[in-house]
């Protein structure tokens, strides 16, 4: 995979967050196991996971804005019509909200 193909939300995470995700996946998403690995309580791990989710959501929204901007630029450059752009954006938003 090329660096430019890596989603922005992954690139925005620090090494500690990426390592947490790696351990989380390797332990089948068990917060109990993660709490043992880090030597902290389950609620502490839950808080860390919640913060990580917020980071990912925030950076995913940036991707949404970039996508919509790209579609609008295609209209400005007259590469697609305004009607087609509206359909694409509506479809994109509806799939992001109701996956």
- Residues 19 and 25: their CA atoms lie apart, in Å, by 10
Q: What domains does the chain contain, in order, with CATH numbers?
A: 12-97 (1.10.10)
pTM: 0.61
pLDDT tens-digit readout, 14-50: 899 999 999 999 999 999 999 999 999 999 999 999 9
What is the C-alpha separation between 10 and 20, in angstroms, rounded?
13
Residues 48-99: tens digit of each pLDDT: 999 899 888 877 777 678 888 888 888 888 889 989 989 998 888 788 765 4
């Amino acid at each position: 995979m090329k660096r430019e193909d890596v989603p922005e939300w992954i690139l925005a995470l620090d090494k500690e967050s990426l390592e947490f995700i790696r351990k989380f996946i390797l332990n089948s998403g068990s917060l109990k196991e993660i709490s043992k690995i880090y030597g902290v309580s389950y609620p502490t791990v839950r808080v860390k996971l919640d913060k990580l989710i917020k980071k990912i959501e925030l950076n995913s929204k940036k991707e949404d804005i970039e996508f919509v901007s790209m579609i609008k630029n295609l209209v400005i450059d007259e590469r697609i019509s305004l009607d087609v752009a509206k359909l694409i954006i509506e479809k994109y938003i509806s799939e992001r909200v109701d996956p």
